[in-house]
Amino acid sequence: MEQNWITSDDILGKDVIDIDGNFLGVVDKLFLTADTITVQAISIDKGFLAKGLVVSKKYIERVSKYAVFLNIKPLFLLLQKKVYTATGHFVGTVVDVTQDTSKSNALECLIVSTKSGKKEISSKDIDQIGKNIVLN
């Protein structure tokens, strides 16, 4: 057997950590192509009642002894984040995100719930994403 081979047991049940260090859940499935039997993606169980998530293998940075590290931050983590302007004015809370269909996991715009209703904010207007979101 090849030295760098691992088995499904080495991945299933492991924690999944994104590029920002967030624990997303545990690996519960592997997706393989039927003809070549190569792994294409992993499925993440985010816990009781939470919707699962499938992550393509191109977003997997490495599989370590205790966890699977991703090289991205999934867009769903932007939900419920607060949005502030560059001067610190509170705009609202993220209720939805739209994806750039030409690139996977690329943000197109945020749907923010404000006092005056829902508002779309383009990804170009975002300065920093961290604990919350700060605009340009």
DSSP 74-127: -GGGGTT-EEE-TT--EEEEEEEEEE-TTSTT-EEEEEEEETTEEEEEEGGGEE
By CB under 8 A, tell whether 72 contacts other proteins: no
By CB under 8 A, tell whether 117 contacts other proteins: no
Number of residues that bind other proteins (CB under 8 A): 32
> Among residue numbers 84 through 113, which ones bind other proteins (CB under 8 A)?
84-90
β-pair type (67-70, 15-17): parallel
- What is the C-alpha separation between 130 and 136, in angstroms, rounded? 14
Query: Considering beta carbons, is residue 17 or 41 the nearer one to other proteins?
Result: 17
> Among residue numbers 33 through 52, which ones bind other proteins (CB under 8 A)?
none
Q: Shortest gap between Cβ of 118 and other proteins (angstroms)?
A: 20
The residues that touch other proteins, with contacts defined as CB under 8 A, are 14-15, 17, 19-23, 64-69, 81-90, 127-134
